Every structure is written in structure tokens, then in C-alpha cells.
């Protein structure tokens, strides 16, 4: 009986090894389906998607990895199926999914306007975010906004939206840094604008 189970175990191991060798020979492929109304293009290593929320693109070229747009799908393939290339394919797939979400729903960061000493006035004029009266300052602080990012102020909250996750994150971070003052103890002077949600994920 022991010999029988040893034989079965050996067969399972052999089958697993054969499957692994087959994948490594034939490569590894991930397919991401595009929603209706989404257009995609891939040229010179850059994938670009267009949807209801705008356009977003990213360089996703990697050695040993091929990317193509075919039949309303983005197809990412590795020449080999080893662990390293599978990880790279997985990372590129995550980037494509982020692009797809961005042009479909948008990436949104939320910030909170906080003050304990002087009321802060935050507004958007054209492509500029203007912060007035931070800790009683007489000169407004101004941030130039990127073209592919929308910023709106609703009461004590600031919303940053873009089809590009990176662009939304960069602008949200710039707004937060705009109101920082290194010479002030934040335990006493908590006045500023702070990120509370990163693309739907609440900050703790």
C-alpha cells in the first residue's frame, strides 16, 4: 500500500513538473477586456486608453514582454513562463486595470481643510488652486494644476479627480505640501489641507 501511494505522489509531482515546463516553454499570457466605449492604442511602448472620463496612458514596455491590443482586449504575454516574468506580467496587468478604471470612473483623492486658529479659504480659479489666510498669512498660496486633473472644493473638502491615478496622486500630494510649514509644531498648529482618501481608500 505504501508503494502505491508513493507511486501516486510521484505521478502528481511529475505532472506538476510537466505543467511548469510547458508554461515556461509556451510563455504566460494575461488578457484584460475593455469595456464598451473604451478605445485603446499601443505604440512605442506606451498604452493609451480613452473613455468617458478622458484619456490616460502609461509606458508598459518591458524586456521579454509583448503587449498588443486585439479584439477589444489588451493582451500581455511573456516569452517565458518563469516566476520573474509572471510577476512582471502581473504588475503590467495592474497598471492596465488602473488605466481602465481611470478612463471609466476616474481616480479620486479627497482632502480635508483643517484649521484651529484662522479660517482657511480654499478656491479654484481656472487652473489654479488658491489658499488664503493659512495661519493668518496675508499672501495667498497658489498651486498650478495639471491639465488632466480636475479639482473642486465643497465646503471643507477638496476633491481631486483624473483619469490618471499618478496625476491625481501627484496633485493631491502637492496640495497637502502647499499648506505645510516646517517651523510650526503640527501638534499645536494642525492648520492645513490633508489627504483623507486615496482613490477610495480611507487614510488612517
**Domains contained in the chain, number:** 2
Query: Which strands, in side-by-side order, build the sheet including 28-33?
Result: 28-33, 73-78, 65-70
For residue 21, pLDDT beyond 90: no
**199 confidence band (pLDDT: 50, 70, 90):** confident
What is the per-residue pLDDT for 193? 94
- Higher-pLDDT residue of 79 and 25 is 79
Which of 60, 87, 104 marks a domain boundary? 104
The reply to whether 10 falls in a domain is: no
Percent of the chain at pLDDT above 70? 83
Do 122 and 77 belong to one domain? no
3-state SS string over 55-95? EEEEECCCCCEEEEEECCEEEEEECCCCHHHHHHHHHHHHH
Read off the pLDDT of residues 62-119 as tens digits, 9 standing for 90 and up. Answer: 888 889 998 899 999 888 777 888 889 999 999 999 999 999 999 999 999 998 878 9
Do 98 and 143 belong to one domain? no
Looking up residue 118, the CATH number of its domain turns out to be 3.90.930.12
Which of 104, 124, 149 marks a domain boundary? 104
Q: What rounded mean pLDDT belongs to the chain?
A: 85
Which domain range does residue 111 map to? 107-202
pTM: predicted TM-score of the whole model, two decimal places: 0.78
The reply to whether 125 falls in a domain is: yes
The reply to whether 151 falls in a domain is: yes
Amino acid at each position: 500500500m505504501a508503494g502505491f501511494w508513493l507511486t501516486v505522489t510521484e505521478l502528481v509531482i511529475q505532472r506538476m513538473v510537466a505543467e511548469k515546463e510547458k508554461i515556461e516553454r509556451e510563455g504566460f499570457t494575461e488578457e484584460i477586456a475593455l469595456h464598451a466605449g473604451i478605445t485603446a492604442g499601443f505604440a512605442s511602448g506606451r498604452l493609451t486608453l480613452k473613455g468617458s472620463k478622458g484619456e490616460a496612458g502609461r509606458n508598459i514596455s518591458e524586456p521579454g514582454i509583448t503587449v498588443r491590443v486585439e479584439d477589444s482586449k489588451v493582451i500581455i504575454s511573456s516569452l517565458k513562463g518563469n516566476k520573474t516574468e509572471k510577476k512582471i506580467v502581473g504588475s503590467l496587468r495592474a497598471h492596465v486595470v488602473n488605466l481602465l478604471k481611470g478612463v471609466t470612473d476616474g481616480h479620486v483623492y479627497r482632502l480635508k481643510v483643517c484649521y484651529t486658529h484662522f479660517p482657511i479659504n480654499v478656491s479654484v480659479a481656472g487652473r489654479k488652486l488658491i489658499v488664503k489666510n493659512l495661519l493668518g498669512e496675508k499672501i495667498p498660496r497658489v498651486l498650478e494644476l495639471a491639465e488632466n486633473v480636475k479639482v473642486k472644493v465643497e465646503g471643507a473638502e477638496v476633491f481631486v479627480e483624473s483619469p490618471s491615478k499618478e496625476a491625481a496622486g501627484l496633485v493631491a500630494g502637492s496640495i497637502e505640501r502647499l499648506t505645510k510649514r516646517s517651523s510650526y509644531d503640527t501638534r499645536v498648529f494642525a492648520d492645513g489641507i490633508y489627504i483623507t482618501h486615496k482613490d477610495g481608500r480611507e487614510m488612517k
